[in-house]
Amino acid sequence: MKINNKPFLSIEQLQDQYLKQTKPAANEAKADGLSFQDILAEKTERAGELKFSKHASNRLTDRNITLTDKQLERLSEGTQKAGAKGIRESLVLVDSLAFIVNVPNRTVVTAMNQNEADENIFTNIDGAVIM
């Protein structure tokens, strides 16, 4: 029976091997020009974007509602104004469209034409913004 006579590696040697293996990946990120600051700025910029829940997206499709870039910008601006006033669940009216927005998450929860809103009653909101 043959026994392998290779010496065992110390923790320091294993650590050095591991660090040597992971350094090229870090260098590749630098080669692409992405620094931590760049990645953080990109993530922060995305965090400010307005999102649509699956329910809201389905409502837009079902009701044949299409938003122009200008309307989307106004919706985002209305959400921002609601947040500045401390509103958590807001009704945001843009032209003839009504949106319920979860302001802290910047997520549109549902969308409708104002003439489709049953009796023009909106519940579970704590503020409204008319844009």
pLDDT tens digit sequence for 26-63: 445 454 677 777 776 676 666 568 999 999 999 999 98
Q: Over 70: is that where the pLDDT of 88 sits?
A: yes
Is the distance from CB of 93 to CB of 112 less than 8 angstroms?
Answer: no
> Helix, strand or coil for residue 43?
helix
CA distances from 115 to 63, 80, 96, 97, 121 (A): 11, 25, 8, 9, 11
pLDDT tens digit sequence for 91-124: 999 998 999 999 999 999 999 987 776 677 888 9
Q: pLDDT-based confidence at 2, cuts 50/70/90?
A: low
Question: Across the chain, which distance is largest between two alpha carbons, in Å?
Answer: 88
- Give the pLDDT confidence score for residue 25 in this predicted structure: 53
Tokens matching residue 105: 């998450």
> Helix, strand or coil for residue 126?
coil
Q: Is 92 left (phi over 0), alpha (psi -120 to 50) or beta?
A: beta
Number of H helices, E strands in the chain: 4, 5
- Give the pLDDT confidence score for residue 12 in this predicted structure: 77
